[in-house]
């Protein structure tokens, strides 16, 4: 399979639903940031110890959810191509909440602001959290942009909730990664 096609050389790309749009459109910006987020989360997984396979599997499931979300972002609402996409419901956000609660049970109560740092896996989780927040802002921008065209879909709303919960998950994951390494949080000292 040929990787380069040349079809994007003039600043346009194709959506999953077939339309050609500018590479700087809000939709492309949103799923481009989502792709970056998924790549950073992949780095988090690579930095976690091999003996934490269940945690790695959980994170890879999240990466799959991000691919599902990206497919929705790459498709114009109401397009016929949506029938080929996996439904994106409230379940992914609910799964993140359960994972957050599970990890939090083994962590000390947080009483101070935390500086990003500690073990490499924790530092990368903090980086992923910041990319997640930017991605969330881009999706909010996309939803606002499309509100005048076709209205925000339930799917986009579910993706927004998922991204908001994912940033919380990544914050707790960073603390949890430090905990797994026997490290405490890096606290902000005023």
pLDDT in tens, 119-170: 999 999 999 999 999 999 999 998 887 765 554 578 888 999 999 999 999 9
Distance CA 86, CA 18 (A): 18
What's the pLDDT score for residue 143?
A: 85
Strand, coil or helix: 57: helix
Does the domain made of 21-77+86-180 have the CATH classification 3.30.428.10?
Answer: no
Strand, coil or helix: 14: strand
CB 38 within 8 A of CB 66: yes
Domain residue ranges in the chain: 21-77+86-180
111, β-bridge pairs: none
In this structure, of 11-15, 68-72, 96-100, the range with the lowest mean pLDDT score is: 11-15
In this structure, of 51-55, 72-76, 100-104, 146-150, the range with the lowest mean pLDDT score is: 146-150
Distance CA 121, CA 26 (A): 31
Q: What single DSSP character describes residue 52? A: -
What's the pLDDT score for residue 24?
A: 74
Does this model's pTM top 0.75? yes
Sign, Cα dihedral of 19, 150, 146, 68: negative
Tell me, rounded to whole angstroms, the distance of Cα 116 from its chain centroid.
18
- Mean residue pLDDT of the chain comes to 90
Mean pLDDT, rounded, for 9-38: 82
């Amino acid at each position: 399979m040929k990787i380069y096609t040349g079809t994007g050389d003039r600043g346009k790309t194709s959506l999953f639903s077939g339309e050609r749009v500018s590479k700087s459109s809000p939709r492309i910006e949103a799923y481009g940031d989502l792709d970056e987020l998924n790549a950073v989360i992949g780095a988090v997984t690579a930095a976690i110890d091999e003996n934490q396979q269940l945690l790695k599997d959980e994170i890879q499931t999240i990466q799959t959810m991000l691919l599902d979300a990206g497919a929705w972002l790459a498709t114009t609402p109401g397009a016929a191509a949506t029938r080929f996409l996996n439904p994106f419901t409230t379940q992914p956000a609910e799964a993140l909440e359960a994972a957050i609660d599970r990890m939090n049970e083994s962590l000390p109560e947080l009483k101070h602001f935390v500086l990003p740092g500690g073990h490499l896996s924790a530092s990368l989780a903090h980086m992923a959290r910041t990319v997640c927040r930017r991605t969330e802002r881009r999706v909010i921008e996309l939803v606002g942009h499309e509100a005048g065209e076709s209205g925000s879909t339930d799917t986009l709303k579910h993706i927004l909730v998922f991204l908001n919960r994912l940033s919380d998950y990544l914050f707790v994951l960073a603390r949890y990664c430090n905990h797994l390494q026997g490290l405490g949080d890096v606290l902000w000292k005023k």
